[in-house]
A and B are shown apart, each in its own frame.
Chain A
Amino acid sequence: MNLSRTARAALWTALVLGLGVVYVPLGVVVLNSFNSDRTFGWPPPGFTLQWWGAAWRSTGVRDALWTSVQAGLGATAIALVLGTMAAFAVQRYRFFGRDTVSLLIVLPIALPGIVTGIALSNTFHSVLGVPLGLFTVIVGHATFCVVTVYNNVLARLRRTGLNMEEASADLGADTFTTFRLVTFPMMRSALLAGGLLAFALSFDEIIVTTFTAGAGVRTLPIWIFENLFRPNQAPVVNVVAAALVIVSVVPIYLAQRLSGGDPQTR
């Protein structure tokens, strides 16, 4: 499409402004984590690795990081198993209420976190009598993590169809061999993409976590929230935030490459 010079300039300005609103503050956070001024004086009088060291030595941060990793891995594992099974069921079999089931699986990602949080908290605490802790956080995160795996696997199944499995059986492979050599390898990048997204979603989730975590369980986002308004913790909070930005970018970037790429071209 041909655009006039003015239109081009306007579009570029809009793009730069729009992205700038999102990414300049994030850049400030990363930059401030090296700011030698404890109160983030601007422009920074100097740069230091002092805060990164302090954050690394902080047992609160380390414990919270470990909790977040555990929650993320747990939720991702559940999401991979359930999401894959649901996608195969919906794509491969016709059954009564199939479209409704599909909708119900996807819905949790659109539900307000606060609703999911309250609902899960009430159910665990009052109805089931399960004590809130890491386990309830994992289950809470899994409700929406399933969606990313489900969507990725479903899209891949739609694209590949049943032909490959028939071809494999035709060439003499039994059901298990077909899964090992054909179905799973063709699903692998979709599973990886869905899993990475699931992990990223879980890693920075705070609302559902607030409602489902017990007293002793503190994920990284909760730790940040608790320490946000303590002036002497500010530089460390800033480091943790900067680290979270970097850690979140990697799985999202990888997931995009994996799910966007056509499996035929790799």
Chain B
Amino acid sequence: MFPAMPQQEVTSVTTTVSDRDGRAVSLRGLRKSFGSVVAVAGVDLDVADGEFFAMLGPSGSGKTTVLRMIAGFESPTAGTVELGGRDVTRLAPFERDVNTVFQDYALFPHMSVLENVEYGLRVKRVPKAERRARATEALTSVRLDGFERRRPAQLSGGQRQRVALARALVNRPRVLLLDEPLGALDLKLREEMQVELKAIQREVGITFLFVTHDQEEALTMSDRIAVFNAGAIEQVGTPAEIYERPATAFVAGFVGTSNLISGATARAVLGKDGTFSVRPEKLRVVLGDADPPGPDEHSAEGTVSEVVYAGPATRFVVDLDTGTRLIALQQNQEVSSMDVTGLRGRRVRLVWQRRHEFAVTS
């Protein structure tokens, strides 16, 4: 009576840094302490030229400090920062070929939009005619023509964001750093800007390195993601790798909903020791003896303790007999809220394919 979910094949696209000269950013053994507080505890990272790379993590995980060390606002306690193969660890921000889009945009309030965008070219003594042409072009590329004479205070949040982007891009930096670039925008605008940022990056071909705490933003926009926790990188990979094969329990929990199977449940259900992760949408909720598990599948029995109907999908909270609580997400292809909410308290079997369970380190 309850339809089984069609399982989708996971196509994992691995982007590795093969060209050693094509490294836009290389971090080696990067550490930063503020007094006795260790903000960054040894980070090694390579970002390839032209990549859209996300540093994802909760607040206080050290991702912003890493970004600030790449920009040159903080000097590392230990380790090196290389840009395009050149060691810039000891250089001031104005000597580095990177530009930053700040979280609060940091537009100069006493200058017009055009003067803001021209600023980088002006301090580099680019002739007036050329910098005007390039600034106008940059404003066109972020769809802000006609706003040249305005002051930042006369713009909306989304417009300010795009001015900040134009102000950074007009310098054609080796790497563009973005610190929570969409954090100050409301949801709808944020979704629009996600698409737009991605399009602009593809157009200009500059390496984008952005910091975010929003896992959905990281998954939708990036070529690759580094997940930060407690000053260190937990995992680096493509969005699909990060989501489908989380390397650690932290990644499994921070990106998406974690379903962890360990201890007695792991021995009873999977027949092995360790901690394993299965994503909620990979679980099939089966009633009674219908749809028995195949040879490549695992299954576990339990009781539905909660049913959350959320329009396109329903979330089942199932307490396994062995004591573990798992969450299963089923699309409402043929059912309605009336059907699913009646399942609370019922005995069910959760079935999943073996290839969707992954050992994680806890």
Q: A and B: real partners?
A: yes
A174-B94, A185-B110, A265-B153 known; A167-B123 Cβ under 8 A: no
Bound complex: CA of A127 vs CA of B153, how far in Å? 55
Instruction: List the B residue with the shortest CB-CB distance to A185.
Output: B110
Is B119 on the interface with A (CB-CB < 8 A)? yes
The contact of A166 among B98, B106, B119, B151, by CB within 8 Å, is B106
A164-B108, A263-B110 known; A170-B123 Cβ under 8 A: no
**Is B93 in contact with A186, judged by CB distance below 8 angstroms?**
no
Bound complex: CA of A171 vs CA of B109, how far in Å? 16
A163-B102, A264-B151 known; A169-B94 Cβ under 8 A: yes
Is A177 on the interface with B (CB-CB < 8 A)? yes
**Is B119 in contact with A171, judged by CB distance below 8 angstroms?**
yes
A163-B102, A167-B100, A264-B153 known; A173-B94 Cβ under 8 A: yes
A185 to chain B, nearest CB (A): 5
The contact of B171 among A171, A262, A263, by CB within 8 Å, is A171
Instruction: List the A residue with the shortest CB-CB distance to B110.
Output: A185
**Is A166 in contact with B93, judged by CB distance below 8 angstroms?**
yes
**Is A164 in contact with B106, judged by CB distance below 8 angstroms?**
yes
A163-B104, A166-B73 known; A264-B93 Cβ under 8 A: no
Is A181 on the interface with B (CB-CB < 8 A)? yes
Is A182 on the interface with B (CB-CB < 8 A)? yes
Q: Is the interface of A mostly helix, strand, loop or mixed?
A: helix
The residues of B that contact A171 with a CB separation of less than 8 Å are 94, 99, 119-120, 123, 167-168, 171
Instruction: List the A residue with the shortest CB-CB distance to B123.
Output: A173
Is A43 on the interface with B (CB-CB < 8 A)? no
**Is A177 in contact with B110, judged by CB distance below 8 angstroms?**
no
Bound complex: CA of A177 vs CA of B125, how far in Å? 12
A172-B124, A173-B123, A181-B123 known; A167-B109 Cβ under 8 A: no
Instruction: Please tell me the number of chain A residues within 8 Å of chain B, measured between CB atoms.
Output: 21
Bound complex: CA of A266 vs CA of B123, how far in Å? 23
B84 to chain A, nearest CB (A): 16
Bound complex: CA of A168 vs CA of B109, how far in Å? 12
The contact of A170 among B100, B104, B151, by CB within 8 Å, is B100
Bound complex: CA of A164 vs CA of B119, how far in Å? 12
B130 to chain A, nearest CB (A): 15
Bound complex: CA of A264 vs CA of B105, how far in Å? 14
Is B92 on the interface with A (CB-CB < 8 A)? yes
Bound complex: CA of A264 vs CA of B108, how far in Å? 9
The residues of A that contact B102 with a CB separation of less than 8 Å are 163, 166-167
Interface residues of B in 140-176 (CB under 8 A from A): 151-153, 167-168, 171
B173 to chain A, nearest CB (A): 9
Bound complex: CA of A169 vs CA of B124, how far in Å? 12
The residues of A that contact B218 with a CB separation of less than 8 Å are none
Bound complex: CA of A173 vs CA of B92, how far in Å? 10
**Is A168 in contact with B100, judged by CB distance below 8 angstroms?**
no
B165 to chain A, nearest CB (A): 13
Bound complex: CA of A234 vs CA of B320, how far in Å? 101
The residues of A that contact B104 with a CB separation of less than 8 Å are 163
Interface residues of A in 242-266 (CB under 8 A from B): 262-266
The residues of B that contact A263 with a CB separation of less than 8 Å are 109-110
Instruction: List the B residue with the shortest CB-CB distance to A262.
Output: B153
B228 to chain A, nearest CB (A): 22
Q: Which has the most chain A C-beta neighbours within 10 Å: B72, B107, B110, B124?
A: B110
Instruction: List the B residue with the shortest CB-CB distance to A163.
Output: B106
The contact of B119 among A168, A262, A264, by CB within 8 Å, is A168
The residues of A that contact B152 with a CB separation of less than 8 Å are 264
The residues of B that contact A166 with a CB separation of less than 8 Å are 71, 73, 93, 100, 102, 106
**Is A170 in contact with B71, judged by CB distance below 8 angstroms?**
yes
Interface residues of A in 99-125 (CB under 8 A from B): none
**Is A182 in contact with B71, judged by CB distance below 8 angstroms?**
no
**Is A167 in contact with B106, judged by CB distance below 8 angstroms?**
yes
The contact of B108 among A167, A172, A266, by CB within 8 Å, is A167
**Is A169 in contact with B108, judged by CB distance below 8 angstroms?**
no
The residues of B that contact A185 with a CB separation of less than 8 Å are 110
Bound complex: CA of A181 vs CA of B120, how far in Å? 12
Q: List 9 A-B contacts (CB under 8 A).
A: A167-B106, A168-B108, A169-B72, A169-B93, A171-B94, A172-B123, A174-B94, A182-B108, A186-B110
8 additional A-B pairs beyond A170-B93, A174-B92, A186-B110, beta carbons within 8 Å, are A167-B100, A167-B102, A171-B94, A171-B99, A171-B119, A181-B119, A181-B123, A264-B152
Q: Which residues of A contact B (CB under 8 A)?
A: 163-164, 166-174, 177, 181-182, 185-186, 262-266
Q: Which residues of B contact A (CB under 8 A)?
A: 71-73, 92-94, 98-100, 102, 104, 106-110, 119-120, 123-124, 151-153, 167-168, 171
